[in-house]
Amino acid sequence: KKIVVLVSGSGSNLQAIIDACQQHQINGQVVAVISNKAGVYALERASQANIPTHVISHHDYPSREIFDQAVATIIDTYHPDLIILAGYMRILTPDFVDHYAGKMLNIHPSLLPKYPGLHTHRRAIEAGDSEHGTTIHFVTQELDGGPIILQAKVPIFADDEEQDVIDRILVQEHQIYPLVIKWFCDNRLKMLNDAAYLDDKRI
């Protein structure tokens, strides 16, 4: 299966996915990495793995719609089976989401439906939560609202700084994102009528 990964930052999840493909844990390969930001470390990781990269800066486009059309045009030249959002910090337009319905996944660092949006770790700490986590879901038009596939939980300890929680979550993300992508590439994972199915069983 051909996988295109969209990033905006350090790309540690991208790295976990590249590694899992190289080790044949995932029956697929990352055929391109697209970033909306130049100079991010995710691009370096892709280059190191000889994966083609594209920078498409949203600042160069007059609207979200036209930016997303430009991104989709590049994505579609690769004819991917799966689009992976891995720390991609852009809100997607409805047309873009619909174009990849059932074949786009996102990872969001909270136990959705808790804390959609930004600064999830800080919000969980400030709320006094004793646990936090991360969620992989199919992408639908609702921000961080698509059908949930898999979640991982981590504890929050009394003396935690935000970075402690971020790091604890990332360790889990690097485990569960490759696993879910493996399921998808093995044709075990589907979205039907806004619900997620694993081996034909509703999640």
Least distance in Å: CB of 193 to ligand GRF? Answer: 26
CA distances from 17 to 13, 24, 46 (A): 6, 11, 11
Q: Which CB, 63 or 122, lies closer to ligand GRF?
A: 122
Interatomic CA distance for residues 161 and 202, integer angstroms: 37
Residues making contact with ligand GRF (CB under 6 A) = 9-14, 42, 86-87, 107-109, 134, 169-170, 173
Does 191 appear as a known binding residue?
Answer: no
Q: Could you tell me which of 109, 104, 112 has the C-alpha nearest to residue 184?
A: 104
Q: Which CB, 66 or 153, lies closer to ligand GRF?
A: 153
Does 64 appear as a known binding residue?
Answer: yes
189, β-bridge pairs: 198
| 108 is known as an active-site residue | yes
Q: Of 54, 108, 132, 137, which is the active-site residue?
A: 108
Question: Which tokens is 200 given?
Answer: 């034909």
Radius of gyration of the CA atoms of the chain, in A: 16
Does 12 appear as a known binding residue?
Answer: yes
What is the H or E stretch that residue 182 is in?
A: helix 162-185
Least distance in Å: CB of 108 to ligand GRF? Answer: 6
Binding site residues for (6R)-10-formyltetrahydrofolate, as ranges? Answer: 64, 89-92, 106
Which residues are the active-site residues? 108
